[in-house]
């Protein structure tokens, strides 16, 4: 772009070095990752865009349907000591390595514009062949349009820095054998892609001799730039207006009276088809055409809104402005995108093409998984940020659930209330206590109803429905009825049905019978508790696997592979709980725990005390002191009567009750401890057969090559994603070097 010495150009707002860096970024397709400052010329094929660009740049753009470009063209001017024009091809962002290598090998050099005009048709034909464009000069081509970019770099001592990207013109009608409706939509999509970025100045080229309201390019520009902040309307063919009213309408548009744009409109005349030859001759012809702007109705328009030279200055200023505005942000944005891409690549782990790579990858995942398991069992929640989620706070949830299990087992686990408990409760109608009826002890608050057995919300326990794969292992009904009243009546009936010839008491068969009935709910309560723990463990395993498996497909492959073994281990815990139930309920009641005798004797003593209480009387203290209500005395003969004045049936019933209560208290505490230590802690948490110890390094090393490939091998999607990340990282690293 030569500069007339008489022209006084406004100084650039930015240094040529910055503008050159932006072009270097564009050549490396960095615009794929972040928006670059650029000027993009768009318009219809008949808008006069080629003539305008030739006037602005001195590049002799082709005319005619066959020679219309089928790809974007980047025209760059750079001031250098030697005059030359370099033509290269920038591969598109999705070009294959082979295609990229072929395009990057193409370079043409000419010295002058006149030489380029002569050789340009041949250059375009060569570009069509390299890009695979179908044309008369390349009938074997497969593409009508291409993402590749033809770069024309014009250097010389009189060039001012300016870069404009020309996008293929929009067309409404197709040409048989040349373009199709699909091509029409492809060009439209290409235009939208080029103008969408926030750092793009849209040069909307519009012919003056048509109604701008009908121009599709303004509609597309408005979609990309609703506020009109970065759209400059360029009105061509002003010299072709014959009617004065048409010129007045264009003047009104430039003055902002109709469809205003914040960057406004600029009006130019068209370069004629005969305006060829030396640049000085072309400049003279241009001045002759633009003489109309001194006449009505153009004469009152601002001089910076008419003519090619003022437009060129305006474009240089705009490019400088957006470059200065964007440059400080580009380095920061590039660094951020580079860090994100590197993190994603790191999360994918090492490549997994060979068996050794697959094994190492999966071993690393298993090691990280076991680290989470150890931290979760030790409540070391500071070990990883993942423990911010309750799903991974496993041992806390287990301890909370176990404490609730113990509390609820104590209040709900027996079939009948013992007599001491019934006496402490306000009398109610005979019969069964309905579910939810509170049972009050003298020194306890109101007990919770059956719904408290597993308080889901309080301990963040997921519902069984969340894990249908556990349906055949766990129970879903987590409610249980509270104990009933009427234990003495029930024991008496059992004794009458079961008594034998024993003297003075009852046989061991009666105690076994009543204990089995009194502990009938133990199996259900234990299964409910184990179901809760299994759900917690399973939720933890899946949540931990999601964290350590950055590749979603690997997560699904690992979890589905170990699911069968996990379920088998869950069943092992449930079976252990069932075994403990059977041990307690099927064997003859027996214990070496001294608390059994202690409890039995205390019950017997309490019963005698309550029998004697009505006959107790207050005696004066020694030395005639006032009576003390705590000093109750009875006669010895009353003691004998209380101990002996019972029928055999009554004595047997009371003895059975007291023995049952004493043994039940010992057995239930033993049972609760055993269920936790054996079925939960050993089988499901800490023991060698725990499901938490299934996915380990040893498990990975035991996989055969075929199974290892199916679990840890990279899918095509992952391989492609890895290659895209590597390319992005490489491009962004180059961008960082350019921007520094």
Q: Are residues 347 and 371 in the same domain?
A: no
pLDDT tier, 443 (very low <50, low <70, confident <90, very high otherwise): very low
Q: Are residues 399 and 299 in the same domain?
A: no
Q: Are residues 316 and 400 in the same domain?
A: no
The pLDDT score that the predictor gives to residue 178 is: 65
Task: Look up residue 337 and give its two tokens.
Answer: 């995108």
332-342 burial, b if ≥16 CB within 10 A, otherwise e?
ebbeebbeebe
Q: Are residues 680 and 730 in the same domain?
A: no
Task: Look up residue 163 and give its two tokens.
Answer: 């870069």
Do residues 602 and 589 make contact, with C-beta atoms less than 8 angstroms apart?
Answer: no
**Is residue 533 included in any domain, yes or no?**
yes
Q: Are residues 335 and 367 in the same domain?
A: no
Q: Are residues 212 and 341 in the same domain?
A: yes
Residues 612, 633: Cα–Cα separation, whole Å:
10
**Is residue 398 included in any domain, yes or no?**
yes
**Is residue 450 included in any domain, yes or no?**
no
Q: Are residues 409 and 426 in the same domain?
A: yes
pLDDT beyond 60 at 435: no
**Is residue 386 included in any domain, yes or no?**
yes
Max Cα-Cα span within the chain: 146
As a whole number, mean pLDDT of residues 230-248 equals: 89
**Is residue 91 included in any domain, yes or no?**
no
pLDDT tier, 273 (very low <50, low <70, confident <90, very high otherwise): low
Which of these, 513, 573, 510, 563, lies nearest to 541 by C-alpha position?
A: 563
pLDDT beyond 60 at 276: no
Write out the residue range of the structural domain in which residue 409 sits: 357-433+463-585+663-713
pLDDT tens-digit series, residues 609-666? 767 777 777 765 555 555 555 577 777 766 666 665 666 677 778 888 888 888 888 8
As a whole number, mean pLDDT of residues 560-572 equals: 95
User: Helix or strand or coil: residue 647?
Assistant: coil
pTM check: above 0.75: no
Which of these, 427, 529, 399, lies nearest to 475 by C-alpha position?
A: 529
- Domain CATH number, residue 263: 3.40.50.300
**Is residue 657 included in any domain, yes or no?**
no
As a whole number, mean pLDDT of residues 180-209 equals: 89
Residues 489, 492: Cα–Cα separation, whole Å:
5
What is the enclosing helix (H) or strand (E) of 231? Answer: strand 231-236
Q: Are residues 347 and 491 in the same domain?
A: no
User: What single string gives the DSSP state of each residue in 114-165?
Assistant: HHHHHHHHHHHHHHHHHHTB-BTTBTT--BSS-S-EEEEEEEETTPPPEEEE
pLDDT tens-digit series, residues 107-139? 999 999 889 988 988 898 899 899 988 877 777
pLDDT tier, 274 (very low <50, low <70, confident <90, very high otherwise): low
Q: Are residues 206 and 311 in the same domain?
A: yes
Q: Are residues 728 and 704 in the same domain?
A: no
**Is residue 107 included in any domain, yes or no?**
no
- As a whole number, the mean pLDDT across the chain is 82
- Domain total of the chain: 2
**Is residue 735 included in any domain, yes or no?**
yes
- Position with higher pLDDT, 12 vs 616: 616
Q: Are residues 281 and 324 in the same domain?
A: yes
Q: Are residues 672 and 533 in the same domain?
A: yes
């Amino acid at each position: 772009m030569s500069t007339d010495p008489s022209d006084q150009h406004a100084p650039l707002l930015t240094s040529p070095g910055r503008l050159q860096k932006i072009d270097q970024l564009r050549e490396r397709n960095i615009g794929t990752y972040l928006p670059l400052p650029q000027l993009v010329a768009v318009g219809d094929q008949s808008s006069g865009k080629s003539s305008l660009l030739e006037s602005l740049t001195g590049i002799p753009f082709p005319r005619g349907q066959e020679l219309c470009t089928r790809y974007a063209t980047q025209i760059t001017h750079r001031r250098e000591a030697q005059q030359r024009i370099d033509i290269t091809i920038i591969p598109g962002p999705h070009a294959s390595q082979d295609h990229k290598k072929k395009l990057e090998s193409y370079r043409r050099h000419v010295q002058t514009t006149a030489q380029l005009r002569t050789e340009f048709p041949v250059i375009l034909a060569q570009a069509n062949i390299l890009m695979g464009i179908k044309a008369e000069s390349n009938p074997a081509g497969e593409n009508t349009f291409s993402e590749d970019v033809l770069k024309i770099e014009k250097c010389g001592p009189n060039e001012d820095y300016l870069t404009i990207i020309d996008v293929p013109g929009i067309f409404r009608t197709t040409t048989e054998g040349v373009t199709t409706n699909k091509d029409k939509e492809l060009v439209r999509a290409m235009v939208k892609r080029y103008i969408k970025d926030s750092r793009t100045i849209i040069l909307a080229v519009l012919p003056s001799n048509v109604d701008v309201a009908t121009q599709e390019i303004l509609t597309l520009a408005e979609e990309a730039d609703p506020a009109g902040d970065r759209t400059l309307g360029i009105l061509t063919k002003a010299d072709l207006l014959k009617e004065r009213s048409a010129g007045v309408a264009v003047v009104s548009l430039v003055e902002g009276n109709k469809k205003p744009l914040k960057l406004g409109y600029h009006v130019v005349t068209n370069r004629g088809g005969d305006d060829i030859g030396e640049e000085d001759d072309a400049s003279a012809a241009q001045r002759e055409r633009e003489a109309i702007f001194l006449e009505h109705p153009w004469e009152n328009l601002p001089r910076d809104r008419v003519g090619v030279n003022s437009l060129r200055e305006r474009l240089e200023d705009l490019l400088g402005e957006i470059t200065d505005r964007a440059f400080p942000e580009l380095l920061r944005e590039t660094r951020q995108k580079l860090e994100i891409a590197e993190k994603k690549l790191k999360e994918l782990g090492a490549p997994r093409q060979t068996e050794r790579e697959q094994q190492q990858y999966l071993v690393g995942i298993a090691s990280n998984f076991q680290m989470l398991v150890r931290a979760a069992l030790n409540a070391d929640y500071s070990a990883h940020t993942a423990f911010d989620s309750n799903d991974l706070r496993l041992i806390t949830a287990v301890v909370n659930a176990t404490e609730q299990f113990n509390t609820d087992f104590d209040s709900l686990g027996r079939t009948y209330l013992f007599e001491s408990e019934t006496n402490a409760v306000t009398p109610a109608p005979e019969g069964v206590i309905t579910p939810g009826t509170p049972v009050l002890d003298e020194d306890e608050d109101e007990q919770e109803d059956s719904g408290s057995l597993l308080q889901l919300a309080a301990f963040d326990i997921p519902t069984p429905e969340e894990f249908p794969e556990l349906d055949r292992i766990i129970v879903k009904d987590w409610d249980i009825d509270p104990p009933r009243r009427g234990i003495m009546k029930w024991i008496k009936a059992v004794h009458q049905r079961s008594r034998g010839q024993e003297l003075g008491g009852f046989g061991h068969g009666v105690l076994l019978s009543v204990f089995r009935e009194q502990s009938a709910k133990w199996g259900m309560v234990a299964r409910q508790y184990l179901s809760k723990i299994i759900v917690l463990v399973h939720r933890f395993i899946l949540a931990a696997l999601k964290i350590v498996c950055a590749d979603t497909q690997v997560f699904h492959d690992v979890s589905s592979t170990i699911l069968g073994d996990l379920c088998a281990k869950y069943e092992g815990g449930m079976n252990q709980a069932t075994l403990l139930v059977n041990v307690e309920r099927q064997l003859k009641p027996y214990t070496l725990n001294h608390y059994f005798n202690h409890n039995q004797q205390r019950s017997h003593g309490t019963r005698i005390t309550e029998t004697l209480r009505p006959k107790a009387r207050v005696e004066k203290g020694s030395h005639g002191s006032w009576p003390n209500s705590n000093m109750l005395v009875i006669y010895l003969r009353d003691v004998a009567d209380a101990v002996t004045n019972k029928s055999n049936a009554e004595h047997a019933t009371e003895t059975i009750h007291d023995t049952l209560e004493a043994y039940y208290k010992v057995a239930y505490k033993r049972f609760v401890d055993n269920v936790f230590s054996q079925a939960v802690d050993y089988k499901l948490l800490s023991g060698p057969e725990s499901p938490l110890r299934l996915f380990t390094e040893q498990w990975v090393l035991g996989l055969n090559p075929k199974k290892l490939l199916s679990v840890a091998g990279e899918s095509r999607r992952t391989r492609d994603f890895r290659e895209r990340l590597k390319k992005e990282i490489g491009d962004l690293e180059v961008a960082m070097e350019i921007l520094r």
